[in-house]
Chains A and B, each alone.
Chain A
Amino acid sequence: TQLLEQSPQFLSIQEGENLTVYCNSSSVFSSLQWYRQEPGEGPVLLVTVVTGGEVKKLKRLTFQFGDARKDSSLHITAAQPGDTGLYLCAGANAGKSTFGDGTTLTVKP
């Protein structure tokens, strides 16, 4: 069984602060995806990282895939209340995606 551990589980910060959430595994993945989920909705894809060491930026969000393709991080600069949600990482192998338990982020105005 391929397990993905996300940390922290919960994070509550003030608007304007920076934060990093982590996704770690003992398994190697062909690719890793980050999703954001809002209450009452399904997860929505933010980014896919494929190459070890890859860094992708999406506005204020920076995603990094570890060199060994076992871990990833998501850094948010100057967080805004609209960033509030459940952030999920998912590792893909053999046609199937395995999800972590998520990080619940609350950004207070």
Chain B
Amino acid sequence: GAGVSQSPSNKVTEKGKDVELRCDPISGHTALYWYRQSLGQGLEFLIYFQGNSAPDKSGLPSDRFSAERTGGSVSTLTIQRTQQEDSAVYLCASSLARRAENSPLHFGNGTRLTVT
């Protein structure tokens, strides 16, 4: 594809339900990132995948959050037992190079999650 694709674009869920957010990175990009953004704010790092290495999960806010990346391509971010404070835009980005210093991040348009 031409760019990073995220689905769904919008998700409204009830408090306590589980949600899955999907990210299709640019073909050939080995690095994949998940960020969370509150309205008009900066990006909060969640998790980083690089090739076959163990992911950097240091940004996940609680054990209700998890992510996987299958076959080095598609990634799914799962939030269990959603809470209202989980409401935000979840952005996925991919990068060609191993190190962020050497390659810019290409972002999808995000999934806007609303927990009611």
Known: A95-B98, A97-B100. A42 touches B41 (CB 8 A): no
Residue numbers of B with Cβ under 8 A of A are 4, 31, 33, 35, 40-45, 48, 50, 56, 91, 93, 98-102, 104-110
Known: A88-B42, A88-B43. A96 touches B91 (CB 8 A): no
A33 to B100, CA, bound (A): 10
Would you give the shortest CB distance from B38 to chain A, in whole angstroms? 10
Interface residues on A, range: 20 to 34
B residues near A4, Cβ cutoff 8 Å: 42
Residue numbers of A with Cβ under 8 A of B are 4, 6, 30-31, 33, 35, 40-45, 48, 50, 86, 88, 90, 92-102, 104
CB < 8 Å neighbour of A95 from B43, B50, B91, B109: B50
Known: A30-B101, A95-B99. A42 touches B91 (CB 8 A): yes
